[in-house]
Every structure is written in structure tokens, then in C-alpha cells.
């Protein structure tokens, strides 16, 4: 069964290819540096079909911040034991690592690793039923659906069963406009959405990932622009994080605090007597819930929170619109 849903999307192009196939997958060692953009931008999800134009020429960036998208050897990854059969790792800026393998007919994922604000490091292993990403050749108008199952492990929850479903498609072909008057006229867009469900502390948790990747065959076999949103919903907590990356650097910028990125951490964790929050201003309301969703403490954050009287266990701190977990 499965706990975390993540829309995970791998795609690659070789020059002048009009579809995805095993021959034009990214090779181990391939990488591209992309610029971090404003996560509040319109991702043009509804712009689909043939001869369309995706205009991101005015998108703002986060000045000086870049992310590397790269393909690594899965067998050299220290977590390979959780992803039996994987041969490659698709790494999006250290935010999401997807393990996969392929044949002449199919590209398949054995799972992924990502960092979720409330749950910590999430390791999703589709060791019961792997996830099909695409059936080769995969061209404009093609779609694929699949069910997958396995386990999810987090620091907060331990290992739990999870099940999910995914949909992938090549949903557009046309012109991509990026900042600095850069225009790419032979672009395919790959869309992957997947979701998974699991039971955490007796409550249903749904994980959803929605990814769009844009490829220009004349540039290379890694995306030149991508958007990725990961959403977690449950009665205990709800988080959504969006990452937008561009090959060409934006010419206008927003601050990191305007970009929807989880910017604080709690320490010490586990806590004994006091809990502190880094990267957060004081005089912010907070609430602490236990594993059953009951609020056990609330107040106004002022340099630290006294947790002396809390029983030992796992807790959820809801503060400044975000939720993080800590142990007592």
C-alpha cells in the first residue's frame, strides 16, 4: 500500500527526436543548471495541444539561486537497497530524487526520496508494484495510467504501507518563451501527476505531485524549464510546495520571503523542556497537536515554547501557516 503520492516525472530528448524513447533518455552524468523562479507564477497548466506557446518571458527569479538537475548512477546511491532494480537517479535540485529503470518498451520508477516540511525525509519504495512513467515511444497526445504500491518511511511515521495511481502525458508541443528574449520553437511538454494514500496515526494522508517539464531536442536531453508542486493533505497537517526552474535567468527578481518555500526549522528535536524555531519572527500565533489531531498547547511564539509538560511522543507544530513535526 502506499503513503505518499508524488507526481514524478522523468523525460528526456535527443536532438530532433519527436518522442520519448529509451535511446534518448538522459544518460548518467548529464546535468543542467537552472535558475530558481517565483513559485507564485502562473504555470500555464491549461496550455495544451499542438503549436501552442508557453510564455514565461516575464517570470521573476530569486536572484543568484540556481538548482542542478542531473542523472546519477542509482547503484552508487547509499539508499539503493530501498529501490531494487533501479539503474538511474533523476535528481531535481536535491529536492526530489527519483529512482528508475527502463526497457525498450517502458520507463519504470522504483520510488523516490524527498524532504517534506511536516514529515521530514520521505523514502517511498514501490517494492510491491513499481510505477510506470511512460510506454515507449511516448509522443504528443499519448497518455499512460498506472497503479503502484509499496512502503513509505519517514522519521515521523516509521515505515507504513501505501498505494497510489499516476497519470502521465505528452500534452503539448510548440514554442517556449523564457526570460532574456530566449525563444525555443521545437519544445515538447511532459506532464506527470501522481497521488498516494496512507494511514498516519489513524488518519488518511494524501500526497500529490504535479510536474510539467519542457524539452528542446536541440539543447539537450534534460528539461530547460520545469514546474513541480508537491501537496500533502490530512486532518493533521496540510502543506504545498512549488518549485519553478528556468534555463535562462530572469531579468526581474523577488525575495526569498516572497517565494513559497518552507524557511524555518525547529530545534532541539527531540525536545525536552523548550522548543525553538529558527528563521521566524516572534509574536506569531502557534498551536501544537498530538497524533490524534488534538490541540494540546497554543499561544504566541516569543523566542521559545515550553514543552516540559507534554508527554513523550510525536507532535505537529502549526505556526506561520506551516506545519512541522517534532518529538518530545
| pLDDT at residue 281, as a whole number | 64
Nearest to 316 by CA among 194, 154, 153: 154
Give the separation between CA 107 and CA 101, rounded to whole angstroms. 6
| pLDDT at residue 282, as a whole number | 65
Q: Give all domains of the chain, ordered by start, each with its CATH number.
A: 19-256 (no CATH), 263-327 (2.60.40.1930)
Q: Is 135 exposed, middle or buried (0-12, 13-18, 19+ CB in 10 A)?
A: middle
Give the separation between CA 328 and CA 317, rounded to whole angstroms. 12
Question: Long-range contacts for 101-104 (Cβ within 8 Å, ≥24 apart)?
Answer: 101/74, 102/22, 102/25, 102/136, 103/22, 104/22, 104/136
Give the separation between CA 200 and CA 211, rounded to whole angstroms. 25
Say if strands 295-301 and 305-306 run parallel, antiparallel, or are unpaired.
unpaired
pLDDT tens for the 328 residues of the chain, in order? 343 333 333 333 333 448 999 988 999 999 999 999 999 999 999 999 999 999 999 999 988 889 999 999 999 999 999 999 999 999 999 889 999 999 999 999 999 998 876 677 889 999 999 999 999 999 999 999 999 999 998 877 788 999 999 999 999 999 999 999 999 999 999 999 999 988 876 778 888 999 999 999 889 999 999 999 988 887 777 778 899 999 999 999 886 554 544 456 788 888 888 988 876 666 788 888 876 667 888 888 888 899 999 988 878 887 776 777 788 8
pTM: 0.78
Residue with cell 528539461: 223
Amino acid at each position: 500500500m502506499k503513503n505518499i503520492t508524488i507526481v514524478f516525472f522523468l523525460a528526456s530528448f535527443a536532438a530532433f527526436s519527436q518522442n520519448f524513447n529509451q535511446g534518448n533518455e538522459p544518460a548518467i552524468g548529464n546535468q543542467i543548471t537552472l535558475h530558481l523562479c517565483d513559485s507564485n507564477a502562473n504555470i500555464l497548466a491549461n496550455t495544451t495541444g499542438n503549436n501552442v506557446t508557453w510564455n514565461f518571458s516575464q517570470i521573476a527569479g530569486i536572484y543568484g539561486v540556481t538548482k542542478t538537475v542531473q542523472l546519477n548512477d542509482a547503484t552508487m546511491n547509499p539508499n539503493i537497497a530501498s529501490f531494487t532494480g533501479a539503474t538511474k537517479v533523476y535528481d531535481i535540485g536535491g529536492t526530489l530524487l527519483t529512482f528508475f529503470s527502463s526497457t525498450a518498451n517502458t520507463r519504470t520508477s522504483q520510488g523516490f526520496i524527498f524532504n517534506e516540511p511536516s514529515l521530514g525525509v520521505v523514502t517511498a519504495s514501490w517494492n510491491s508494484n513499481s510505477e510506470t512513467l511512460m510506454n515507449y515511444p511516448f509522443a504528443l497526445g499519448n497518455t499512460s495510467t498506472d497503479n503502484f504500491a509499496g512502503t513509505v518511511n519517514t522519521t515521523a511515521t516509521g515505515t507504513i504501507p501505501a498505494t497510489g495511481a499516476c497519470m502521465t502525458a505528452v500534452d503539448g508541443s510548440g514554442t517556449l518563451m523564457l526570460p532574456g528574449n530566449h525563444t525555443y520553437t521545437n519544445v515538447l511538454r511532459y506532464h506527470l501527476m501522481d497521488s498516494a494514500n496512507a494511514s498516519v496515526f489513524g488518519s488518511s494522508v494524501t500526497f500529490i505531485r504535479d510536474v510539467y517539464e519542457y524539452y528542446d531536442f536541440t539543447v539537450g536531453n534534460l528539461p530547460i524549464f520545469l514546474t513541480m508542486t508537491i501537496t500533502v493533505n490530512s486532518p493533521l497537517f496540510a502543506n504545498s510546495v512549488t518549485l519553478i526552474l528556468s534555463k535562462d535567468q530572469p531579468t526581474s527578481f523577488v525575495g526569498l520571503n516572497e517565494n513559497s518555500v518552507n524557511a524555518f526549522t525547529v530545534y532541539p528535536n527531540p525536545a525536552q523542556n523548550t522548543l525553538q524555531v529558527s528563521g521566524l519572527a516572534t509574536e506569531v500565533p502557534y498551536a501544537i497537536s498530538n497524533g490524534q489531531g488534538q490541540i494540546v498547547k497554543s499561544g504566541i511564539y516569543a523566542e521559545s515554547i515550553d514543552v516540559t509538560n507534554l508527554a513523550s511522543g510525536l507532535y505537529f507544530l502549526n505556526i506561520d501557516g506551516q506545519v512541522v513535526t517534532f518529538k518530545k
